[in-house]
Structure 1
């Protein structure tokens, strides 16, 4: 049951939380401090409810718990501990906002601050040079083209949900349509082929899942179709891996004028494989690789022509989590994904514009992104925040308002 709070108070908290995460790249520590202060006040204002909500969503705390334990074998325990506390608090705040705010309050408050961020980015002249390709790309209020693209994708997912929610007022739906328009323009201006493809595919997948789950099928037929989809997905993955190995993928990328290394990603994955082999079980520890003075990190930064100390990852969720948390972390991550997929396909009905629709859209995009990005488990990011909110929604009855 939702806790009834003053709507203005709840809206301000949602606005501050989402705004702080969106503008984190621009304002850094100030934005993070606003997020922490607002989050602590809001979570502490109903501490009994907060603790109960966290217990009910214990799955979200499995990987943060392993991250916290990894401080023991981290090369930089002090920094790692601070990052872990921030990561844990981000998880708690996401659970609280998902449970305490109505869907409409969350969507409207988030849409307002997202629209501000997207308008600033659209008319911004801030760009960044890609050291691997020499390409100059729009970054807006963010610190990289990839960051801009993924945050814009979150805006599009929320905008579609808000604009198609028939239980909400007309003005709010128009706000969703405006956010959708501006976010789409930003995504096109960013010229991120991967993000555009992922956004389009995630939207298509979301509507396909909604259509499929709303079909009146007997349990035997649905079970067989579920297995067919799983086998089809595994076949596609095997085909992609085979294409990478035999060189056909490289030929295809050359034909369309793109870098076959995916802007150095394949080189990163190879280096990640070596690191996994060195510490296979537990990894190097949460966020314990890319720090100034680490020879491996300095080498990777130099190869990719980025300044020492820049935020970085292996641009593949499976490689990244295996490097930081070992095969144990990868196992927990795969279990976590399996639980999400099973939950989605256990729904007998999904309504477009509902909380379940929002969760399916977010998770579809993030899952597609796992093969080229590693943004699931990072503190103070809108991506992780929305992922946690989506997981909470998937455990509850469908919300419409």
Structure 2
């Protein structure tokens, strides 16, 4: 049997396979700690073999994505000064291969296919969490929170917020036919319910903010380029002014109080201080990628003990930039910050200075969500998590895609050997 290559790697024709690959990836990101290495192998299996289907198309112009390549190289080189070289070497290889999978996904999967696959994967993941129905006790704020099959309320809150986000953008920009409403309703209801019961303040605060931004960017479709620029400048200035006023009038404490938090973000400001102190020990290069939270290291053991982390794993400084400073120093923090800002500005500026496109709106919303969460979570620095996959997928979507020869993809009646994969 011959399978046309287009069904695997052509973004306009591989909706079925692409959606399946994204759904498998989300399941692996969510529950690999439960189901083991088989899920990670499945994640690799849906992406890496696509290189063999047409390596010229996928790898062409890969060097133009120089910034992630530079960061991945630096992560690998940190093994030479790492406090735990074995851990750094293993995790660095995982992170680099994770970036490679995101690159392949960006080359072969459209934003619409990504959204469909994400909705399927998120729905299945949340259903499983609803079935497990586990709760965890937070010793810092004295509350019980729904975590499902996850290890923390913030993880399930993030997945639920993405479920709501992808439901909204699919209905607003990508749906085809009225049946889409019926298919989306169960996903958005389940996502909304689990978001509320998880009590994740970060997710509940960031979700409406991102949806409001998407609505604002959508209005730009009706405006000329000049008016878009004016509105953007006014909106950016207003946001900065409102933030300054809120901080000076104490409105931030009021908002946090609505979510049961105080101005210390339930211990996070203490963690930030500890992280900053740790970063001063090796400010330029850091202690090595993934080389701080290692069992047997005194400072990591102390913080695990102070925050009642009995498993002595799966912890971080709850701030992407502080965590990166500790592990990779100023050099690594600068590179990762540039990747985040370059991706965010790339998609937002496309809406302000160029032709309006729904894909840019969707990816802008994803990047704003990740940017907001980067100040209180660490979701782009580690392998096999949804945040880093979405970050690099969005970045590689900015890279100029290689041209596709019309003779290979447009001719319906040509399925010769070069265009097919034997199965």
TM-score range, shorter chain: 0.7 to 0.9
Over 3 Å counting, the alpha-carbon distance change for 1:153 and 1:382 in structure 2 is: same
- In structure 2, the partner of 1:3 is 10
- In structure 1, the partner of 2:81 is 73
- In structure 2, the partner of 1:277 is 280
The TM-score with structure 2 as length reference comes to: 0.82
Kindly state the Cα deviation for residue 335 of structure 1 after the two structures are TM-superposed.
Answer: 2.4
Q: Distance in 2 between matches of 1:64 and 1:49?
A: 22
Q: Distance in 1 between matches of 2:195 and 2:105?
A: 27
Q: Distance in 2 between matches of 1:52 and 1:80?
A: 30
Kindly state the Cα deviation for residue 363 of structure 1 after the two structures are TM-superposed.
Answer: 0.8
- In structure 2, the partner of 1:379 is 383
Q: Distance in 1 between matches of 2:23 and 2:33?
A: 17
The TM-score with structure 1 as length reference comes to: 0.86
Q: Is the 8 A contact 1:150 1:383 kept in 2?
A: no
Q: Distance in 1 between matches of 2:364 and 2:271?
A: 30
Match of 1:357 among 358, 361, 367: 361
- In structure 2, the partner of 1:325 is 328
Over 3 Å counting, the alpha-carbon distance change for 1:85 and 1:213 in structure 2 is: farther
Q: Distance in 2 between matches of 1:319 and 1:240?
A: 24
Corresponding position: 1:106 with 2:110? no
Q: Is the 8 A contact 2:220 2:356 kept in 1?
A: no
- Of structures 1 and 2, the larger Rg is shown by 2
Q: Is the 8 A contact 2:106 2:396 kept in 1?
A: yes
Q: Distance in 2 between matches of 1:280 and 1:380?
A: 27
Kindly state the Cα deviation for residue 197 of structure 1 after the two structures are TM-superposed.
Answer: 0.8
Over 3 Å counting, the alpha-carbon distance change for 1:175 and 1:392 in structure 2 is: farther
Residues 318-361 of structure 1: CA deviation (Å, up to 9, x unaligned): 2111111111122223322332243222333434xx32222112
Q: Distance in 2 between matches of 1:129 and 1:175?
A: 34
Corresponding position: 1:12 with 2:55? no
Kindly state the Cα deviation for residue 237 of structure 1 after the two structures are TM-superposed.
Answer: 5.8
Equivalences for residues 217-296 of structure 1 within 5 A: 217-218=225-226, 226-227=232-233, 229-235=235-241, 257-296=260-299
Equivalences for residues 193-212 of structure 1 within 5 A: 193-212=201-220
Q: Distance in 2 between matches of 1:14 and 1:385?
A: 10
Q: Which runs of 5+ in 2 are unaligned?
A: 1-5, 402-423
Q: Is the 8 A contact 1:53 1:96 kept in 2?
A: no
SS in 1 for 2:39: helix
Corresponding position: 1:178 with 2:186? yes
Worse overlay, 139-148 or 203-212:
203-212
Residues 303-326 of structure 1: CA deviation (Å, up to 9, x unaligned): 111125321111112211111111
Q: Is the 8 A contact 1:26 1:143 kept in 2?
A: no
Residues 120-175 of structure 1: CA deviation (Å, up to 9, x unaligned): 22343212222322322111121111111112222222222222235534444543
Kindly state the Cα deviation for residue 51 of structure 1 after the two structures are TM-superposed.
Answer: 2.0
Kindly state the Cα deviation for residue 265 of structure 1 after the two structures are TM-superposed.
Answer: 0.2
**Root-mean-square deviation over aligned CA pairs:** 2.9
SS in 2 for 1:371: coil
Equivalences for residues 185-196 of structure 1 within 5 A: 185-196=193-204
Instruction: Work out the number of aligned pairs and report it.
Output: 390
Q: Is the 8 A contact 1:154 1:383 kept in 2?
A: no
Over 3 Å counting, the alpha-carbon distance change for 1:242 and 1:272 in structure 2 is: farther
- In structure 1, the partner of 2:372 is 368
- In structure 1, the partner of 2:57 is 49
Q: Is the 8 A contact 1:292 1:308 kept in 2?
A: no
Q: Distance in 1 between matches of 2:212 and 2:331?
A: 33
Q: Distance in 2 between matches of 1:265 and 1:240?
A: 20
SS in 2 for 1:164: helix
